[in-house]
Structure 1
Amino acid sequence: MTSSSTDARPQVREYAYDHFWTFTSERQQIFERRLLGLPGPWTRDPILARFKFCNVYRAADRVSQHLIHDVAYRPDAGAVADRIFQIVAYRHFSSIRTWVDVCQLLGHAPTLEDLASDAFEDALSATRHHNGRLYTGAFILCATDAYGRSVKHLNHVELFRHMFLRSDLVEKVRTAPTLAAVFDTLKSFPLMGNFMSYQIAIDLNYSEVINFSEDDFTQPGPGALRGLRKTFLSPGGLSPSELVMWLVDRQEDEFTSRNLPFAGLFGRRLHAIDVQNLLCEVDKYLRVAAPELASARTKIKATFRPNPDPIELFFPPKWRLRTTAGRASPNSGPFGQEQMAVV
């Protein structure tokens, strides 16, 4: 995807548009304060202090961190085809507990051999029986019985078999000319809608399997679309994807004009996937900050409770993020060679 036209003139809803940038700055500062080990409270914003919001950068969220470190860059993942299968399967459940339990039952990260032999299916079913659930509650997956099985996770197992045992998904992903082509390939399968296809395309792009700019392509999900409707009075002829890129293009000017602190993720600017996610989070924020902007969702369900389990931040080494004590530095080594704890 090319950058949105600088001549485009979408019409913003000024106070909602301002909230987008102030929210982004303050939410990133919360992340940085916690990273530095400062004691709470980490914000004076009453909404951010009370409710749970995702990190500004998708890759910094706990589930994505686990996927990047323990799936995409797991040293014993096996063949490239196995790694692609693991990334695709992981994102469908987006549950650290599910993945850890399945790996423990198998004795290793699931492979295509496990998928073919029913060992993966059996491990999933045993995990469901023991834990009571397999999937995150963060988003709703298409749950039709497209493959004729009566339980959701069994239909997803059949989807994986279709993708990896009866189709050439691996080859199409490895030879895809663009991020959009990866998305289109994923979306061609049953049960794979726009949202999940885009999320998995980004996850695959974290790994060493493919390497495209995250600004090449974007596909706003339902929450992002709600955020766009609240943030803009008129799109000015731009599509939702182009509006996301319009925001990406303007970020430095908007932070500077508002005198808002924002150094990015150890110097990494916002990319389309981050802005897409931010629009979803700002939609949530505006349910409280501007309740007159009605949408299908009126409340924020999750309140903020610090997770007591520390994680070691690890980002794709190919990003070459540089950090010293949580701050961007031109002199430290590539991020990924060192790890930093955050709770």
Structure 2
Amino acid sequence: MGQQGRSRTNGQGGPGAVDGFFEYARERQLIKLRRDAGESPPFTGDPVLRAYRFCNVFREDDRTTAWFRQNVRDVLRESPTEVTLATITFRWFNRIEVGEQILDILLEDGWNAKRIRSRLRNVQPLVTGAYMVKTPPGMSKLEGIIWCMKHINRRSLPQMPMTSLELAHQWLTQYPYLGDFMAYEVITDLRHTFQLQDATDIMTWANPGPGAARGCEWITGHKYNRHSKTDRVAMMNVMRELLRLANSDEAFLWPEDWPRWEMREVEHTLCEYDKYMRAVNGQSLKRRFDASHQGEERT
């Protein structure tokens, strides 16, 4: 991404904002392709992308999700209750190292408090740094997760809606401490299984978090309150238009021989684009680039 592309997107909204969003997305995808091809770093000439860590455009390409897909999700994908329980369990921790310690439990039981407590009692770090894992106060993180999982009734899991990501997301958040963000991670995994592969809103619904809301602001120049129903409708319309453009053969914003986008790609690329634009405008980000780990920080 050249200096010209960055300079014309320094402000929020206005001409070039949509182009700037896709310019970022294309360059981030090219970083992955160059790395996969065995090229040597740096994988980009963009100073911000060279300095800081950004997730892949496609969540399925991120290291943690790839491990979970290959070792757990694809193995259980035709068994809705089993894959749902195993996914919830894994995403409480969201670490490959933890997944490896409890892989047999994930595949055989989905959850077993006694065995997991024994396996993970001395494991550190226990949970991901990619998102906040909330558990009851006054407990260790392990005991807090065990408490949370105690409230997830295995027998109730077949009641999860199978026709809608949005309804399944709402259903999951009934459980204590399983908030919007983590529920969205679980739903995104289950979208690739029998449980939600036929959901009717894969291309029309997403759960915009604070990063995606700020990403929409960079596109439109408007501020959004993601807790406002009106603003959520407005953000959803922005995201649907970005999805249309991403998959349009006429827009020339995303190469037609690259993978197609879904609403999940729009939502999480908006979040990453917000990080990118804040860095372009002088804000220091937390996660510095490491050529051996680029694209692995998320989920």
Q: TM-score, normalised by structure 2?
A: 0.80
Aligned: 1:121 with 2:121: no
Deviation at 1:108, TM superposition (A): 4.8
Please name the residue that 2:286 is paired with: 301
Q: Which runs of 5+ in 1 are unaligned?
A: 1-10, 292-297, 312-343
Please name the residue that 1:268 is paired with: 259
4+ residue stretches of structure 1 with deviation over 4 A?
77-80, 235-238
Instruction: For residue 112 of structure 2, give the secondary structure of its aligned residue in structure 1.
Output: helix
Deviation at 1:283, TM superposition (A): 0.9
Give the alignment partner of residue 129 of structure 2, picking from 130, 137, 141.
137
CA RMSD for the aligned pairs? Answer: 3.0
Instruction: For residue 39 of structure 1, give the secondary structure of its aligned residue in structure 2.
Output: coil
Q: Residue deviations 1:87-146, cap 9 Å, x none?
A: 11112211111111233xxx5535448526x2123323x2xx23x22111111123334x
Q: Residue deviations 1:251-291, cap 9 Å, x none?
A: 255x965x656346xx4311111111111111111112124
Q: Is the CA contact 1:182–1:201 (under 8 Å) kept in the aligned structure 2? A: yes
Instruction: For residue 195 of structure 2, give the secondary structure of its aligned residue in structure 1.
Output: coil
Please name the residue that 1:191 is paired with: 177
Q: Residue deviations 1:146-165, cap 9 Å, x none?
A: xxx61233222222222134
Give the alignment partner of residue 289 of structure 1, picking from 275, 280, 283.
280
- The amino acid that maps onto 1:143 is T
Please name the residue that 2:209 is paired with: 221
Deviation at 1:301, TM superposition (A): 1.4
Please name the residue that 1:207 is paired with: 193
Q: Is the CA contact 1:95–1:135 (under 8 Å) kept in the aligned structure 2? A: yes
Q: Is the CA contact 2:162–2:168 (under 8 Å) kept in the aligned structure 1? A: yes
Please name the residue that 1:171 is paired with: 158
Aligned: 1:154 with 2:143: yes
Please name the residue that 1:232 is paired with: 220
Distance of 2:159 and 2:119 partners within structure 1:
28
Distance of 1:60 and 1:113 partners within structure 2:
24
Q: Residue deviations 1:220-260, cap 9 Å, x none?
A: 1121112222322137974222322221112255x965x65
From the two aligned structures, give the one with the greater strand fraction.
1
Q: Which runs of 5+ in 2 are unaligned?
A: 1-11, 225-229
Distance of 2:62 and 2:131 partners within structure 1:
15
Distance of 1:190 and 1:196 partners within structure 2:
12
Which runs of structure 2 are paired with 1:96-107 in the superposition (5 Å)? Answer: 96-103=96-103, 107=104
Aligned-residue sequence identity (percent) comes to: 23
Deviation at 1:57, TM superposition (A): 0.8
Distance of 1:114 and 1:42 partners within structure 2:
40
Corresponding pairs, count: 275
Distance of 2:238 and 2:177 partners within structure 1:
27
Which stretch of the first structure deviates more once superposed, 183-192 or 40-49? 40-49
Distance of 1:223 and 1:308 partners within structure 2:
22
Q: Is the CA contact 1:68–1:207 (under 8 Å) kept in the aligned structure 2? A: no
Please name the residue that 1:277 is paired with: 268
Q: TM-score, normalised by structure 1?
A: 0.71
